[in-house]
Amino acid sequence: MGTHRRRTRLDAVLLRLAEREGATIARGRVSAVAALGGGVVVQLTGGRSIEGAFVADATGRAAAVSRRLGARRLFAERLVATRESWPRMMEDRLFVEGSADDWRYSLFGPGGRADAWRISRPSRLRRGPGLAVDASPSRLDAFAGERWLAIGDASVAFDPIASQGLGHAMAGAMTAAGKLLGSCRMSGEDRDAFALLNLQTWATHRRDDVGRGHSSGTLSEASPARASAVR
């Protein structure tokens, strides 16, 4: 099912390709953002700042740019993914198991690396030594302004069981590339169309989530009420 990619290698390849096409790479974390005249200034940790006509926020669930420009994150529910060692991880293909309290999966990735994750509500979380990351289905209340847009998890993030994250990130990246290479401006019409794209993607995820909960019993509090928690 699907392909498995080593993230660090993928990121390195993408950076190299961007540099080859003329991009200037500035390393650092976004610490402040401000609209300035007709553009945007992004402050990075370490003191460097970048001024530009347009900014694409690809900072994942942190939405570090969009939130500093006024967007708010809305959560349908809170979920946490914890990495664990799972004794049943003997399958050489994706293995998924669900219960009313959580769901978990294991697979062998590139180079035979074994990965196992449990996704559960924070209230059910058994604290362990493993890495824990946010896995909540959530979205922004605004996906773009005149001089910015949010893509990938920054705009809409899913329960990982949906396997929608990477496809959504790629779709948003194409819109962002078009803007960065083109007018560097989101007209009201552009913003409406981009919002529709994101809201439809979100609606699909929420409907799938309810169906999955009902049919498999996984995280089984799924109900139409839960689906409409954030529309």
Ligand X SMILES: Cc1cc2nc3c(=O)[nH]c(=O)nc-3n(C[C@H](O)[C@H](O)[C@H](O)COP(=O)(O)OP(=O)(O)OC[C@H]3O[C@@H](n4cnc5c(N)ncnc54)[C@H](O)[C@@H]3O)c2cc1C
Pairing between β-strand 102-108 and β-strand 138-140 as defined by DSSP bridges:
unpaired
Shortest Cβ 224–ligand X spacing (Å) = 25
Residue 43 DSSP SS3: strand
- Taking a C-beta distance cutoff of 8 angstroms, is the pair 145, 196 a contact? no
Residue 52 DSSP SS3: strand
In the list 29, 48, 207, 231, the residue contacting ligand X (rule: CB under 6 A) is 29
User: Whose structure tokens read 């402040």?
Assistant: 32
In the list 46, 110, 163, 217, the residue contacting ligand X (rule: CB under 6 A) is 163
Per-residue mark of binding to ligand X, 45-84 (x: CB under 6 A): -------------xxx-x-x----------------x---
Element holding 144 (H helix, E strand): none
140 binds ligand X per the rule CB under 6 A: no
Q: Which residue lies nearer to ligand X by CB, 137 or 165? A: 165
Shortest Cβ 177–ligand X spacing (Å) = 14
Shortest Cβ 163–ligand X spacing (Å) = 4
In the list 68, 153, 198, 219, the residue contacting ligand X (rule: CB under 6 A) is 153
Letter string b/e over residues 29-48, b meaning 16 or more CB atoms within 10 A of that residue's CB: ebeebeeeeeebebbeeeee
- Taking a C-beta distance cutoff of 8 angstroms, is the pair 40, 34 a contact? yes
169 binds ligand X per the rule CB under 6 A: yes
Binding stretches for ligand X (CB under 6 A)? 29-30, 58-60, 62, 64, 81, 117, 133, 135, 152-154, 160, 163-167, 169
